[in-house]
Amino acid sequence: MSASYPNIRMRRTRASRWSRDLHRETVMTPSDLIWPLFVTEGQGVEDPVKTLPGVSRWSIDGIVARAKEAVELGIPVVALFPNTPADKRSDDGAEAHDPDNLMCRAIRAIKQACGNDLGVLTDVALDPYTSHGQDGLVDDSDYVLNDETVAVLVDQATNQAEAGADIIAPSDMMDGRVHAIRMALEMGGHRNVQIMSYAAKYASAFYGPFRDAVGSGGLLKGDKKSYQMDPANGDEALREVELDIAEGADSVMVKPGLAYLDIIYRVKQRFGVPVFAYQVSGEYAMIEAAQSVGAGDRDALLMEKLIAFKRAGCSGVLTYHAPVAARLLNG
């Protein structure tokens, strides 16, 4: 028995709900959430994603309705991902820098409807636009070209900023793209457009349902291991983060989230910058699967995972469960 017992009883502060609330070290609110949304063509379209139960692709009018819902729930940011029609995909992903593409039309519609009440985060990568499903341009051997891809990403990012995007989020993992995008935004007069860099994005097995949602899953030739990170590496993630901060990232992201809590913690401890986690499609699907077979309570599983992200050091979390979590947090 400890010499401090019974002077110190660790259970005293756990005995009542009010006391547990008072002593809670980690607090989660709706303002810690970012809601990823999938945009598709059409009018009045809700197209459920089979591998993501409860998640749909929405036409722009539906996306605007979701954006208004986010404002009502206290969710500060939505993240947009387009499902580009097959006839607008190409080897060079040229649709990415069309000022009237699906993404840009969705940005403008949200900003018109919600103004500054809601932030819009936009994905910068070519996989929603390429016919081969890779995040960048490829050579004859299907190797993803770095510098040539960065030039296209700069055009894509500038295009989105012109449409009204508040946060540019490059998810491509090309070397040097944060610096190139930051310089283009500065020169284009978009000095207050933020960059949230996918700084430590791993070549993960948890992305499958997302690729279905944006229509790139069946197109992908090979894998993305030549540019996304090896799941075995942690020190390399710190180097990636350090470089992106130096290049002008305002915040950084670790993706996926739950399997990389150690990376989140190390990044926060080392750099002290805003760190975000992406609770990716595979993580979402596992929670829904557990609920569907009675293996766990969705709400309890969700909130425990979100608290884990915050406890590890996250400023916020991208999650498809954002409206569910917000309703739970709002009581």
At 43-60, the pLDDT tens digits run: 999 999 999 999 999 999
Catalytic: which of 88, 201, 268, 310? 201
pLDDT of residue 1: 55
Q: Is residue 11 part of a domain?
A: no
* 305 given a catalytic annotation: no
Distances (CA, A) of 130 to 124, 145, 149, 165, 258: 13, 14, 12, 22, 29
Q: Is residue 10 part of a domain?
A: no
Residues 215-237, mean pLDDT to the nearest whole number: 89
Residues 287-315, mean pLDDT to the nearest whole number: 96
Question: In the chain, how many domains are there?
Answer: 1
The Cα–Cα gap between 85 and 98 comes to 14
* 224 given a catalytic annotation: no
Q: Is residue 17 part of a domain?
A: no
Q: Is residue 253 part of a domain?
A: yes
Catalytic: which of 88, 111, 224, 255? 255
Residue 265: closest CA among 209, 197, 313: 313
The answer to pTM > 0.85 is: yes
Q: Which domain holds residue 155?
A: 25-330
Q: Is residue 256 part of a domain?
A: yes
At 273, is the pLDDT very low, low, confident or very high (cuts 50, 70, 90)? very high
Q: Is residue 5 part of a domain?
A: no
Tens digit of each residue's pLDDT (9 = 90 or more) over 112-125: 999 999 999 999 99
Q: Is residue 8 part of a domain?
A: no
The Cα–Cα gap between 4 and 8 comes to 6
pLDDT of residue 4: 87
Residues 236-243, mean pLDDT to the nearest whole number: 98
pLDDT of residue 2: 60
Domain with residue 172: its CATH number is: 3.20.20.70
Q: Is residue 236 part of a domain?
A: yes
**Rounded to an integer, what is the distance from CA 261 to the centroid of its chain?**
15
pLDDT higher than threshold 70 for residue 199 = yes
